[in-house]
Amino acid sequence: MMGIITATTTSAIWKEIELAEGYLVRGMFEEAASLASSILKRLREHGRGLATEEEEASQVYDMMESTGMVLVQSLKELGRTSEILNQLRLCFVSVKFIPARVLLAGACFRIADGSPLAVREFLEEFLNGWILEGEQYCTVVAEASLEHEVGDSIQIVLGIDMYVEIVEVYAVNLLATVLNNVDLAISWVEKASLPEKKRQGILRKLHSIHSSKSTNTSQISRAQSPANNNEACSPAELQSCEGLPSALKGKRPDNKKFTSKEAILKLSERMEPCFWCFRSFNLKFGNTQFVISKGKMVLGCVILLLCYILRKKQASVRGTLGRQLTAVKRALVDMWQLAFSYQVNPLAAVQPLPAATRGGQ
């Protein structure tokens, strides 16, 4: 006879869940996994038949979700990631009974572990059979009990956002990204029972991945085309690319398709080692040895060139400077003469005016 969870039982189970979470936090993963598995089996038996009691069903769902997360994380920490999906099947009997967040966590751990095919089958089994009714998804599952092969049929409800989140993990992360099958993912999403707005959002992500992969493929194909690989080059070109001494012999390439610009570039590449083959000079005076680097050699040549130019142009430089100085001197003299050539009578302000001038006034 199936039991029903009472308030006392609920309190006791929550205490056990907290104990399992404590084991997980303290690193006692074996104890946490064992206790979580035991709690889930009891919840499976005592929690059935509560689909009509919304409050109690929500409480049972929360307990299953908390316990399931402890189980999944404990198995991952124990290095038993490959057992996660099988353990979830054993504890929940049907994949659709697994809380959505627990299912996502287990699937992601398995994908990271390198088992995408097993996760694909697992997620497909979960996603199939849901019907969109208003603002939620519904499905009916015949639950098996320990005493009977077939138990009561139970209706399961799942929110749209959570269902779409699982669809994205399946289509975008698993099919398109990990399994590299974007076309299959697009086809599956187009046929799935999804709200149109959500469908278009997922399709945009898939088309973006598809265009990105197409661009990368075209770039790789161009890089591997005969026009860009070494098979299209003549032996003289291969020697030049590899830096062999025979490349300095100046052989012309047999390929007639080379343009003048390409020929000039290849000639410059061949001539460059001739000019820079000596990286440094070693000079020795008695017991003292000097090492002159390439940079110092170039700087010294530039200084010598400047000194030579200045020496050759010394006369013209002196003449130019002399003319400029003479012109400046003449301008200063002219300004000085102009400033002091105007005569001013300092007593004009205090001298009386002439008599005729006063009479006129």
Q: What is the pLDDT of residues 109-135, one digit of tens each?
A: 999 988 899 999 999 999 998 999 888
Q: Let me know if residue 158 belongs to a domain.
A: yes
Higher pLDDT, 100 or 258: 100
Q: Do 61 and 1 belong to one domain?
A: yes
Handedness of CA 240, 241, 242, 243 (dihedral sign): positive
- Residue 300 binned pLDDT confidence (cut-offs 50, 70, 90): confident
84 domain residue, yes or no = no
Confidence of residue 267 (pLDDT cuts 50, 70, 90): very low
Task: Tell whether 265 and 298 lie within a shared domain.
Answer: no
Average pLDDT, the chain: 75
Q: What is the pLDDT of residues 194-233, one digit of tens each?
A: 999 999 999 999 999 878 776 666 566 555 555 555 444 4
Does 345 map to a domain? no
User: Domain containing 190: what range?
Assistant: 112-224
Do 190 and 124 fall into the same domain?
A: yes
Shared domain check, 123 and 206: yes
Query: Is the pLDDT at 98 greater than 60, yes or no?
Result: yes
Per-residue confidence (pLDDT) for residue 218, from 0 to 100 = 58
Total-model pTM: 0.56
Over 60: is that where the pLDDT of 14 sits?
Answer: yes
Residue 91 covered by a domain:
no
End residue of a domain, out of 224, 246, 262: 224
- Give the pLDDT confidence score for residue 272 in this predicted structure: 47
Q: Lowest mean pLDDT of 39-48, 185-194, 297-306, 346-355, name the range.
A: 346-355
Domain count, the chain: 4
Say whether pLDDT at 18 is over 60: yes
Residue 67: pLDDT band with limits 50, 70, 90: very high
Residue 156 has pLDDT above 50, yes or no: yes
Q: Is residue 342 part of a domain?
A: no
- Report pLDDT for 110: 92
Within a domain: 271: yes
Is the domain of 216 the same as that of 257?
no
Within-domain flag for 358: no
Domain check: are 126 and 158 in the same one? yes
* Overall average pLDDT of the 229-256 stretch: 46
Structure tokens at 312: 């050759």
Instruction: State the pLDDT at residue 361.
Output: 46
Q: Do 189 and 247 share a structural domain?
A: no
Stretch among 53-67, 193-207, 309-323, 347-361 having the lowest mean pLDDT: 347-361
Residue 286: pLDDT over 80? no
Which position has the higher pLDDT, 279 or 249?
Answer: 279
The confidence score (pLDDT) of residue 252 equals 47
Which of 262, 277, 292 is the C-terminal boundary of a domain?
A: 277
Q: Clarify whether residues 152 and 129 are in a common domain.
A: yes
Residue 349 has pLDDT above 60, yes or no: no
Q: Is residue 309 over pLDDT 80? A: no
Q: Could you tell me if 50 and 138 lie in one domain?
A: no
- What mean pLDDT comes out for the span 234-255? 45
For residue 74, the model assigns a pLDDT of 95
H, E, C per residue of the chain: CCCCCCHHHHHHHHHHHHHHHHHHHCCCHHHHHHHHHHHHHHHHHHCCCCCCCHHHHHHHHHHHHHHHHHHHHHHHHCCCHHHHHHHHHHHHCCHHHCCHHHHHHHHHHHHHCCCHHHHHHHHHHHHCCCEEECCEEEEEEECCCCCCCCCCEEEEEEEHHHHHHHHHHHHHHHHHHHCCCHHHHHHHHHHCCCCHHHHHHHHHHHHHHHHHHHHHHHHHHHHCCCCCCHHHCCHHHHHHHHCCHHHHHCCCCCCCCCCHHHHHHHHHHHHHHHHCCCCEEEEEECCEEEEEEHHHHHHHHHHHHHHHHHHHCHHHHHHHHHHHHHHHHHHHHHHHHHHHCCCCCCCCCCCCCCHHHHHHC
Instruction: Please report which confidence band the pLDDT of residue 333 belongs to, taking 50, 70 and 90 as the band edges.
Output: confident
Would the pLDDT of 246 be above 90? no
Q: What confidence score (pLDDT) does residue 168 get?
A: 94
137 band by pLDDT with thresholds 50, 70 and 90: very high
| pLDDT over 50 at 5, yes or no | yes
71 lies in some domain: yes
Question: Percentage of the chain with pLDDT > 90?
Answer: 37
Per-residue burial over 306-344, b = 16 or more CB atoms within 10 Å of its CB, e = otherwise: eeeeeeeeeeeeeeeeeeeeeeeeeeeeeeeeeeeeeee
Picking from 57, 79, 101, the residue at the C-terminal end of a domain is 79
The answer to whether residues 19 and 69 belong to one domain is yes
Q: How confident is the model at residue 336 (pLDDT cuts 50, 70, 90)?
A: confident
